[in-house]
Chains A and B, each alone.
Chain A
Amino acid sequence: MVSFEKIAGPYGGPTGGLAWDGAAMLFSALGESRILRYEPNSGEVSVVRKYSNRTNGIAFAPDGALYGCQELSRRVVRFNHDGSTEQVSVLLDGAYHNQPNNLAVDSRGRIWFSDPWSELRASGPQIFPPLAHASVLRLELDAFGKLWTIQRMTYDTAAPRAVALSPDEATLYVAESDNRPDGRRELRAYPARRDGTLGAFALVHVFGGDHRGEQRGIEGLCVDRAGNIIACAGWKRGGPGPLIYVFSPSGAVLESHPFPADEPMNCAFGELGSLYVTTAGGELYRGRLKGGAP
């Protein structure tokens, strides 16, 4: 058994995306539209950003820039060191995309993000309809490092909720998580092909349901150095309950740990191999997996 300890929260609304900055863990208190920073030596929580308009997933790029998925503004933004915030790009083939919630930045600085439909009302007048599809999209800078463009990467998703890259970046893991009755709840591994597109996915894991209700699918993912996939899934109202899974790339369940709070949201490795987990209840937890090395 791995024990998870609550170290911060609860905050108003869920906590979501996480990003380790090398010394502390940044996490989104998305219901409060704030990005916070937990410093493990002191245990203190400070404010990185306010007024983030429900920024959920956050990630650092290789150049140190912090990017986030601003769910209520339907865009990926960059939080600059001077305190300003810029939108990266918002149009896919001329249309506003959906409501990004999770992202991963690869070694070339390309931003892979899940772009699900959402029941959350986006800010402002409702004059831009959602896309006809809910896919994983990818942002890429042009050769001059100035202009971002967005490319659609998946053509077979309807509820992408989380993305993560394998250490060699040859595989994109996607959580397809529709927790409604009859929704698909799958962890998929898409091969990244040389031509920049994704190949047909391999199924890593499938979540079921029974007369008591659906098993909740994956909301957050991260990958350790060995290439195993750590996933936040489950809830108290169905299936085996809230769990942190560790899958091998081939789909073997290496570890599964009951999680003390309902609906774990996202996870990321911090200091000395510790795993940080956010929750629907707005908390920040920390524990250590058996496998050890992050």
Chain B
Amino acid sequence: MLELDRTTPALAGLVSADKPLDRIHHGMSFGEGPLWNRRDGSFLWVDIVGDTIWRWQPGIGAKPLIRPSGKANGLTFDREGRLCVAGWASRTVWRVEADGAVRTLASHYRGRKINSPNDIVVRSDGSIYFTDSPGALYNVGMAAADLQQYLEFQGVFRIAPDGAVDAVITDTVYPNGLAFTPDESVLYVNDTRLGEIRAYDMRADGSCGAMRLFHKLTGAEPGIADGMKVDREGNIYCTGPGGIHVIAPDGKLLGRIRISDHCTNLAWGEADWRSLYITTYHSVFRTRVNVPGIAVW
């Protein structure tokens, strides 16, 4: 059974309390990077501190997929089904090629080493967007080999299909989760330090327009703006105090899915994209929702 905070009755249309909350894995130091693989029906996530990308198959269980992982953080697939990784402590974005080789897609911006890629999403045009917070330079237990911050900002980058790396957002303090609206006209970015979700209108060339404050997270419980995903009706699911905050397309809080452990991220899964996988510091949880999430390539 799910613990729900129903801030508005509309939450019932998205999440039902009678759904189970299954714990499908336990024992990580810091879970993150949840990702459903539609091609083989498996689920991937990372343990940042444990330096491992994990793979779980229903009925079989979990095995390390890549270890060490450069303390990988956010994961996604590109349109060809290649695993794309926000390389937290490697300070790169890297991709696993069809033959298993690892290829670095981004490591520097204008000659300077980037901070530490946090989360990642691929747009339908094949471009990759990632947040570049500096956590691997500062956080205890997640250290990069080189701890020096060289960039004067902590923003969001775009890797164009031709490989060019551009800064599309530079006004964030600690950008973390990011997700597009279903029509990809708006990019949502949350900021852990500011405790808010921002919305940026997308321009035709893939750059981001002016920022507008979309939502301020509320709640006194442990939990921060970290992972964030959007469903097919445009509702936003974002980690925050006490669990997962469900926010309507107009920016109003509908309610919360309460999680007892500290939530770090979430991902849609299963063939109908109606399962919600949730990573916490120590566990992976799974529940079911009524509206399917935006599919991952």
Contacts and interface: CB of A to CB of B under 8 A. Distances in A.
A77 B147 CA distance: 9
Given A123-B135, A127-B49, A51 B149 contact: yes
Given A53-B138, A73-B147, A128-B140, 20 more contacts: A51-B134, A51-B137, A53-B137, A72-B138, A73-B140, A77-B147, A84-B148, A86-B147, A87-B143, A87-B147, A90-B143, A96-B140, A123-B138, A124-B138, A124-B140, A124-B142, A125-B139, A125-B281, A127-B141, A127-B281
Interface of A: 49-51, 53, 72-75, 77, 83-87, 90, 96, 122-125, 127-128
Contacts of B143: 73, 75, 87, 90
A51 B140 contact: no
A128 to B, nearest CB: 5
A50 B30 CA distance: 28
| Contact-residue bracket for chain B | 20 to 34
A87 B134 CA distance: 15
A77 B262 CA distance: 29
Contacts of A86: 145-147
A104 to B, nearest CB: 22
B108 to A, nearest CB: 14
B148 A51 contact: yes
A194 to B, nearest CB: 35
A125 B145 contact: no
Instruction: Classify the interface of chain A: helix, strand, loop or mixed.
Output: loop
20 contacts: A51-B137, A53-B138, A73-B138, A73-B139, A75-B140, A75-B143, A83-B150, A85-B146, A85-B147, A85-B148, A90-B143, A123-B138, A123-B139, A123-B140, A125-B30, A125-B139, A127-B29, A127-B49, A128-B140, A128-B141
A5 B30 CA distance: 50
A93 to B, nearest CB: 16
A80 to B, nearest CB: 8
A49 to B, nearest CB: 8
Nearest to B139: A124
Interface centre among B30, B134, B146 (most CB of A within 10 A): B146
Nearest to B264: A125
Contacts of B147: 73, 77, 84-87
Contacts, number: 58
B91 to A, nearest CB: 11
A85 B139 CA distance: 14
Interface of B: 29-30, 49, 134-135, 137-143, 145-150, 262, 281
Nearest to B224: A125
Chain B interface, >50% SS class: loop
B220 to A, nearest CB: 16
B142 A50 contact: no
Contacts of B29: 127
Contacts of B138: 53, 72-73, 123-124
A119 B29 CA distance: 24
Contacts of B141: 96, 124, 127-128
A90 B141 CA distance: 9
Given A51-B134, A124-B135, A125-B281, A74 B140 contact: yes
Q: Which 8 A-B pairs have the closest CB atoms?
A: A124-B139, A51-B149, A123-B138, A85-B148, A85-B147, A84-B146, A53-B138, A74-B140
Nearest to A124: B139
A128 B281 CA distance: 12
Contact of B140 (A77, A83, A85, A122): A122
A50 B145 contact: no
B242 to A, nearest CB: 16
Nearest to B48: A125
Contacts of B281: 125, 127
A51 B154 CA distance: 12
A149 B30 CA distance: 25
Contacts of A96: 140-141
A125 B262 contact: yes
Nearest to B282: A127
Contacts of A85: 146-148
A239 B269 CA distance: 66
Contacts of A75: 140, 143
Nearest to A84: B146
Contacts of A84: 146-148
A213 to B, nearest CB: 34
A127 B143 CA distance: 14
A124 B137 CA distance: 10
Nearest to A73: B138
A198 B140 CA distance: 29
A53 B138 CA distance: 7
Contacts of A73: 138-140, 143, 147
B146 A50 contact: no
Given A123-B138, A123-B140, A83 B148 contact: yes
A194 B281 CA distance: 45
